[in-house]
Structure formats: structure tokens, C-alpha cells
Structure 1
Amino acid sequence: MHTIWKGSISFGLVNIPIKLHSATEDKDIKLRNLHKECHSPIKYEKVCPVCDMEVKAEEIVKAYEYTKGKFVVLDDEDLEKLKKEKEDKAVEIIDFVKMEQIDPIYFDRTYYMSPGDGGGKAYSLLRKALEESEKVGLAKIIIRSKEQLAVLRVYENTLVMETIHYPDEVRKAGDVPNVPAEDKVTKKEIDTAILLIDQLTTDFEPEKYTDEYRTALLELIESKRTGKEIVTPVEKAPATNVTDLMAALQASIDKTKPKKTPAAKKKRVPAKAKKEA
């Protein structure tokens, strides 16, 4: 597994050398843009609209647009100095909290942590302490020139770091338009909705969920590559536009009810056989 970061975890006076590995991977299928006439890949050039010329990498500077059309230019030296002042290659645990106190909306990316040289015992200590205290570590780390807030927890006997958003990066739910202020539903509607939820409730088995679009796209690409005939799947019947809430709930419940197996039919005994018995 590729190491993307090396450093240490520190909490109190304890220091644990660790390596960071990405826990997830992007499985999106990357499609290239080609010129329709000759099928050559399209090049994307950096062009200055004022000078009407292509700009080389060494001629580009970074800047912050503080108002429309006005910029503050930041030199590479300024950014590098700031980065060195903040980046000390440490995951500093600043607090320990209960996991359930952190809403999932804050979570961003997940990384596995492995112990560095000589860090096995301290790694095991932190892992055991987190498990027995039933808490997670709240930490700060700089990754790719950005200071991240992160959560350290245990997953399948491995320390995991989840980067999380800062509070000012999470938009206020109150700003979402057209959200009903009150629940204008009846008791019967609520009971029926809960019945539907109960019928659809199961244990979470991640293996049974697949990316159907990606699979279909790969099959399409392969069939085109090998020159096979492309078969169009049968379209699903369009959903009926049920406007009545109770009718929609009842229809959903009927659809999700387990089908009853028909009872075995009794064999008819011929009249003659009965008499002989």
C-alpha cells in the first residue's frame, strides 16, 4: 500500500511514528476528450486572454481574488515559508471526544495509519486506549499545504484518520430553501411510513451494493472494443405519479412484502381407493 505521508502522532508526551495510506480509491472511469474528425486527444493550453499567448509554468503566479477583478499576489517564497512554519509533520491530538458527538456531515476523507520504525508498541497502546475508552482523538494535521482537522479512531484493528471539515466549511442547514417548518402529517401516515421502514430494514452488508452505472459503462466499452453487438437493456416501467401520500406508502409496503409460498395441494384420493381402505 502506497505511503502518502510520514510523520508522527503526538498526545501528551507520547510520540508515535506513523505512515499514512489512502483508505479509499476513486473507481470512476476516466473518459478522454478527442477531436471528432481525427480522434486525437484534445490539449488544454494555459492562455492569457489579454496577451493572447500561451503562458509557460514559470510565468504563472498564485493570487487571491479579494474582490471582482482585484488580486493579492502571493510569491512561492511566501507560501513555502508559511508552510514550513506550520508543517512539523505531526498529527497532534488536541482532544478526545465521543464519536457519536460528531455528525457525519463533517467527515471528508479516510486514511489508514501504520506504525513507523520502532512505533509498534506505542501504536498498540493508543489503539487499545481508544477502544477501551470508547473515544476518538481529535487532531490537527497539514496535508498538501492545508491544515486539516481530523479524527483518529480504530477500524478493524487498524488506526484510521478521518479528515473532517471545520465548522465554517459546513453550510447552515437553515439556509436550505423550501424546507417545511412543521410536520403536517397524520398519525396514520407516520405509522404506515414506519411500517415501510421496518419492512426494508436489514443488516448493513457493504458487499451487496455495487456501482451499476460503472459496471454498465465498462460492459459498453468492452463490447465496443471487441466489436460485439450492443444489447439494449429492457427499460424499467415508469413510476406511477402517485400524488396521494397514503396511497404511495401502501403501494410501497405491498411491493416490499415477502411473497408467500403457495401451500402444496393435497392429492385427491380416488373413490375406489377409499372404499378398499
Structure 2
Amino acid sequence: MHTMWKGSISFGLVNIPIKLHTATEDKDIKLRTLHNKCHAPIKYEKTCSVCGEEVKPEDIVKAYEYTKGKFVVLDQEDLEKLRKENEEKAVEIIDFVKIEEIDPIYFDRSYYMSPNEGGGKAYSLLRKALQESQKVGLAKIIIRSKEQMAVIRVYENTLVMETIHFPDEVRKAGDVPNVPSEDKVTKRELDTAILLIDQLTTVFEPEKYTDEYRTALLELIELKRSGKETVTAATKEPASNVTDLMAALQASIDRTKPKKAAAPRKKAASKIKKEA
């Protein structure tokens, strides 16, 4: 499993060298965009919004737009230094809480944690302590230049780190428009709804749920591929060396051709001199 972060996590005086591994993967089917005329992939180039010039990576700087059209340019060296200073710090568990107290709306990404060299015993200690106390740890970590809150918990005998949103990143539910303030339902309607919920209630078995759209799309792609319903992207014709050589030879011949009109003029000029 690919390691995407190395560091350490601590609680109290216990320090655990760890590695992070992405726990989930995006299995969305990526579709390319082609030119309908020649089926060649479409290129998206970075251009300046004012002068229209294509911008190279080395000509791009990062900036913060503090008001419309006004920016504070940030040097890459400053950003790199800031990121490095924070990433080198150990991830410290600052609190322990019950996971039931954290609403699922706060959860973001999941990462498996494995012990790095020499961290096996401390890793086992934290895992056992979390299991026995039925608590989760709250910590701060910087991943990809962004400071994040995180929950440390146990999942199938493995420590998992769940990044969670800060409170100011979660929009207020009260701002959602057109939400009824009161429940205007009859007792009969409520009883029927609860009965339906009871009938559909089951034990959560994640294996029985599949992405039906992705499965159908893969089947469609395979059906078209096996039926030879495929297209080939058009390519640019490479410059022909033979053509270039012939053009160069012809140009050379043209340049060395004698100018026919020049001879008569010279003879006419000499005849005039003799008559004079």
C-alpha cells in the first residue's frame, strides 16, 4: 500500500512514528473529451485572461485575492518554508472524546495508519487504550499544505485517521432555504412512515451495495469495444524529410539559374558604346 505521509503522532509523552495510507479510492470512470470531427483529445491550455498568451508553469505565481481584482502575491519559497515547518512537527492528540459526539457532517477523508520503524509497541498501546476506553483521539495535522483536524480511531484492529472539517467550514443548517419550521403531519401518517422504516430496517452489510451506474457504464464500454465500435484519434502528419530536401534542392536550382534577360541588355549596351 502506497505511503502518502510519514511523521509521528503523540499523546502525552508517548510518541509513535507512523505512516499514512489512503484508506479509500475513487473508482469513478474517467471519460476523455474528444473533438467530434477527428476524435483527437482536446487540450486545455493555461492562458492569461488579459493578454491571451499561453502561460508556462515557471511564469505562474500564487496569490490571494483580498478584494475584487486586488491580490497579495505569495512567494513559493515562503509557502514551502511555512509548509515544511509545520509538517515536521509531531501530530499531537489534544483531546479524547466519544465518537458519538461528532456529527458525520464533519468527516472528510480516511487514512490507514501503520507504525513506522520502532513504533510497533506504542502503536499497539494506543490502539488498545482507545478500544478499552471507547474513545477517539482528536488531533491536528498538516496534509498537502492544509492544516486539518483529525479523529484517531480503531477500525478492524487498525488505527485510522479521519480528517474532519473545522466548525467554520461547515455551513449553518439554519441558512438552508424553505425548511419547514414545524412538523405538520398527522399521527396516522407518522405511524405509517415508522412502520415502513421498521420493514426496511436491516443490518448494515456494505458488501451488498454496489455502484450500479459504474457497472452499467463499464458493461456498455466493453460491449462497444468488443463490437469494434471504436474510433482512432487523428494525428498530425509528420514533416517529410524528402519533401524538405526536394524543396531545398529546387530552391538552390532556382537561385543558380542564369538570368536570360541580362545578356541582351549587356549586348545592347556594348553596341551603343561602339556607335558612340
TM range (shorter): 0.7 to 0.9
CA distance in 1, matches of 2:121, 2:52: 61
CA distance in 1, matches of 2:20, 2:77: 27
Shift of 1:112: 0.3
CA-to-partner distance for each residue in 1:179-210, whole Å, 9 max, x for gaps?
Answer: 00001111111111100000000000101100
Shift of 1:78: 1.6
| 1:220 alignment partner, SS class | helix
CA distance in 2, matches of 1:86, 1:21: 20
Shift of 1:157: 0.2
| 1:20 alignment partner, SS class | strand
CA distance in 2, matches of 1:57, 1:83: 20
2:215 paired with 1:215 = yes
Identity of aligned residues (%): 86
2:85 paired with 1:70 = no
Aligned to 1:31: 31
Query: Match of 1:32, as an amino acid?
Result: R
| 1:48 alignment partner, SS class | coil
Aligned to 2:82: 82
Aligned to 1:260: none
Q: How many residues align?
A: 229
CA-to-partner distance for each residue in 1:35-59, whole Å, 9 max, x for gaps?
Answer: 1111111111111132221011110
2:74 paired with 1:50 = no
1:16–1:119 Cα contact (<8 Å) kept: yes
CA-to-partner distance for each residue in 1:250-272, whole Å, 9 max, x for gaps?
Answer: xxxxxxxxxxxxxxxxxxxxxxx
CA-to-partner distance for each residue in 1:69-103, whole Å, 9 max, x for gaps?
Answer: 11111110121122123222522100000100000
Aligned to 2:113: 113
Aligned to 1:171: 171
Q: What are the within-5 Å matches in structure 2 for residues 132-211 of structure 1? A: 132-211=132-211
CA distance in 1, matches of 2:34, 2:89: 42
Query: Match of 1:102, as an amino acid?
Result: I
Query: Match of 1:42, as an amino acid?
Result: I
CA-to-partner distance for each residue in 1:103-145, whole Å, 9 max, x for gaps?
Answer: 0000000000001111111000000000000000000000000
Q: What are the within-5 Å matches in structure 2 for residues 9-24 of structure 1? A: 9-24=9-24
Structure 1, unaligned runs of 5 or more: 230-277
- Indicate the RMSD between aligned Cα atoms, in angstroms: 1.1
Aligned to 2:259: none
1:140–1:147 Cα contact (<8 Å) kept: yes
Shift of 1:67: 1.3
Aligned to 2:95: 95
Query: Match of 1:107, as an amino acid?
Result: F
| 2:140 alignment partner, SS class | strand
| 2:36 alignment partner, SS class | coil
1:89–1:142 Cα contact (<8 Å) kept: no
Aligned to 2:4: 4
| 1:177 alignment partner, SS class | coil
| 1:53 alignment partner, SS class | coil
Change (3 A) 1:2 1:53: same
Query: Match of 1:132, as an amino acid?
Result: E
Aligned to 2:245: none
CA-to-partner distance for each residue in 1:162-184, whole Å, 9 max, x for gaps?
Answer: 00000000000000000000011
- TM-score calculated relative to the size of structure 1: 0.81
**Consecutive aligned runs of 4 or more in structure 1 exceeding 4 Å deviation:** none
Aligned to 1:250: none
| 2:184 alignment partner, SS class | coil
1:6–1:89 Cα contact (<8 Å) kept: no
CA-to-partner distance for each residue in 1:186-242, whole Å, 9 max, x for gaps?
Answer: 11111111000000000001011000000000011001101179xxxxxxxxxxxxx
Structure 2, unaligned runs of 5 or more: 230-276
1:130–1:136 Cα contact (<8 Å) kept: yes
CA distance in 1, matches of 2:92, 2:44: 41
CA distance in 1, matches of 2:182, 2:49: 52
